[in-house]
Amino acid sequence: MRKAMIGGTGITPFGKFMDSGVRPLAERAVSDALKDAAVDIGDVEMVFFGNAAGGLLNGQECVRGQVALRNTGLLGKPIVNVENACASSSTAFHLAHMAVASGSVEVALAIGAEKMSNEDRSKPIKALEAAADLAELEALKARISPDGAGTGSVFMDLYSSVARDYMAASGATAEDFARVSVKQRHAGALNPIAQFRADVDVADVLASRMIADPITLMMCSSIGDGAAALVVMSEQAAAKRDIQPVRILATEIRSGQGDDPEAAPVATAAARAAYQAAGLGPEDLSVVELHDAAAPAEFILSEQLGLCPPGEALALLHSGRTALGGAMPINPSGGLISKGHPIGATGAAQLVELADQLRGRAGPRQTEGARIGLAENGGGWIGNDAAAAVVTILAAVARH
């Protein structure tokens, strides 16, 4: 396998854009990524389009990428539609990397786009439910809400159940979860594309509407719309252009084994494979983007990714190491909690943030001297674990 690089990135603002469909969002992200990579449409040899729930949300099935990219000039090229729950666009990136690293193409394009805001508020909830095994959905609901008093959102109830288990095991409190949200909202306030751009304090988070005890509204990621794109190219193709590339050290995808109580969590399995492929460990990381669909996820994933020893995630947060200005900021983009979570775009957006950090382009969110970045993007739920996880490790390239 040869070396592959991110040559350019593009991202739209994240938010609720009731008057916009997927197409204009994807077009903007693609245009910006191609320009950033000094790449013309004719240079792109293969396209991977990540979208999680377009069929359920707006009825567009089967040819979502071809429809979204219809006016970009990309039709005629191989377009692969990728659907893998919230990990759709990180999976698209994984495939683009494979295409380039294998030598099949010199330049590939990975895109994630999602339009979730809808006048019918039940549609996004139903779409998210479809990221679980529908044959066991009622049993899952009964297990995580044994009193039958669910919120109507199976994933919020699931996060609530996981959060309560983590509190019992670790001594974490609702105030600790609120501190994660405060950290993420502060970073988001400095991110021009974030859905939520205001600082909050612990009291604000705790006082926000209860969604599923102990999780309040400000501890949750929000339904939204957006798109992100990345140009993946060979080292030789990057060398021909006046650009600032980012090296792809590893991108690994694993499916969860939630029916096997002895199996490692899927995020751990993907991270171990990525560390091995990259030839480094969590101690080498400068910056991390992880899948904080709800605030407790930062604690759980910090341990699963090896960012701290088991049981030490609370201490990691309180140390300040993971805040902006710390030695290893987690979610300097604002994370899903503040940046937003248009599910099919999330994985690509994490990689755009890492690329910005590693190229010194993150403005007031910049991690000084950032050299190595890791992104973890999960998706769906099977049994007792996420259905999929993609872990990607990127490295800065010295400018000549």
Q: Which residues are catalytic?
A: 86
Alpha carbons 268 and 257: distance in angstroms, whole number = 12
Closest CA to 214 of 169, 171, 177: 177
Q: Which amino acid, one-letter code, is at 309?
A: P
Q: List helix spans (H) across 48-102.
A: 54-58, 64-68, 88-101
CB atoms within 10 A of CB 125: 16
Distances from the Cα of 89 to the Cα of 76, 174, 235, angstroms: 21, 31, 22
Residue 312 per-residue DSSP state? -
Alpha carbons 224 and 325: distance in angstroms, whole number = 28
| Percent helix, percent strand, percent coil in the chain, to nearest 5 | 40, 20, 40
Closest CA to 86 of 382, 390, 379: 379
Q: List helix spans (H) across the chain.
A: 22-36, 54-58, 64-68, 88-101, 122-129, 137-144, 154-170, 174-189, 202-207, 235-239, 266-278, 296-304, 313-319, 335-339, 346-358
Residue with tokens 């719309």: 225
Residue 65 per-residue DSSP state? H
